[in-house]
Amino acid sequence: MRTEMRIFATLPVLALCAAAPVLAQDGFPVTLEHAFGETVIAAKPERIVTIGWMTQDAVIALGETPVAIPFQGWGGDENGYVPWVVEALEARGESLPELINTDQAIPFEQILALDPDVILAPYSDLSDSDYARLAAIAPTVAYVDGPWSGSWQYVVETVGAALGQPQEAAALVAETQDRLESYKDTYPQIEGPTFIFGGGGIVETNTVDIYLPFDPRVQLLADLGLVPAPALDTLSQDTFYQSVSAEQIGTLEADVYVGWFNSEQEVEAALAHPLFARWAPIAAGRFVALPEAFQSLALSAPSPLSLPWVMDQFVPQLAEALE
């Protein structure tokens, strides 16, 4: 499947965050620490390239438009754009950015030709060599702890610091968190149950990919009030997910299972799998199937753009499964 940084500033909201970027008190230059060292952004970027998930959403939500964003095959439209990005930019009367396809490799020549002021990849899987080549093109911001790690809040805060908008980023995080909190008033049953979030594969591979507590999908459901199943802590934590065999899936206890699939047919095939069907949350009907890639991506890469787009669809499904 290829597809946290501290803020040393006087801003009280961001100062409380456990993982945020280093920001000079007088604005630019901004220094951002990450897994490959630190990056200095000398002046407000105008030409922004994003790599990985969530980052382009944060840039757009903060009022800027990147010159290029990743092509999204899974969860994107026929052109590779996600619907919440299209809707946000169309509402502003702006053109869609150029797409860069990083599915197989990073297109360094294409990025060089874009003449970026900054390359933002705080939620990505850049390698050492990827980072070195990108940093030779423009100041590049990578992840802090490891590939595909970091919450949506961290991504927004990092982007906000890079763009010289830390206060706006803090307000955007608070507004989005308030929206998530509000669902508990309407659907009180979502507060407290344990859950597991996973991905398809049970029929073809006889395994289920289970996401771990530091994955954004899991963090998102925890933000809603659910509790990550303690069984997640028994799995290896060396990456953001673990494949669990059909024979072992029944040992993982949870009140509800949320799982993405590639189609309705995959959901039906999974439910026909005898070991999957006997797993307690499935047998009890406490199962939220996500067969639409748009919806799955919006939950897998949560952001201030994708969450308003998806949560009014998803939360009622989740609440119904928990009744």
In this structure, the answer to whether residues 138 and 71 fall within a common structural domain is yes
Written as one letter, the residue type at 187 is Y
Please report whether residue 24 resides in a domain.
no
In this structure, the answer to whether residues 202 and 148 fall within a common structural domain is no
Flag whether pLDDT at 203 surpasses 90. no
The residues, ordered by sequence, that sit 6+ positions from 21 with a Cβ below 8 Å of its Cβ are 5, 6, 7, 30, 31, 32, 33, 141, 157, 158, 161, 162
∠ at Cα 87 (81, 88), nearest 5°? 105
Please report whether residue 258 resides in a domain.
yes
Mean pLDDT for the chain overall:
91
Please report whether residue 2 resides in a domain.
no
Query: How much is the average pLDDT of 292-300?
Result: 95
Please report whether residue 194 resides in a domain.
yes
Q: What is the pLDDT of residues 219-273, one digit of tens each?
A: 999 999 999 999 999 999 989 999 999 999 999 999 999 999 999 999 999 999 9
Please report whether residue 5 resides in a domain.
no
Residue 100 sits in a domain whose CATH number is: 3.40.50.1980
In this structure, the answer to whether residues 239 and 115 fall within a common structural domain is no
Q: Sorting pLDDT into bands at 50, 70 and 90, what band is 27?
A: confident
Give SS3 for 296: helix
User: Quick one: what percent of the chain has pLDDT higher than 90?
Assistant: 88
Q: What is the pLDDT of residues 31-84, one digit of tens each?
A: 999 999 999 999 999 999 999 999 999 999 999 999 999 999 999 999 999 999
**Owning domain of residue 249:** 185-321
pTM to 2 decimals?
A: 0.89
Nearest Cα to 288, choosing from 221, 215, 203? Answer: 221
In this structure, the answer to whether residues 193 and 136 fall within a common structural domain is no
Question: Residue 30's beta-bridge partner residues?
Answer: 41
Please report whether residue 133 resides in a domain.
yes
- ω into residue 29 within 30 of 0, thus cis? yes
Q: What is the pLDDT of residues 94-123, one digit of tens each?
A: 999 999 999 999 999 999 999 999 999 999
Q: How far, in whole angstroms, is CA 77 from its chain's centroid? A: 18
Written as one letter, the residue type at 250 is G
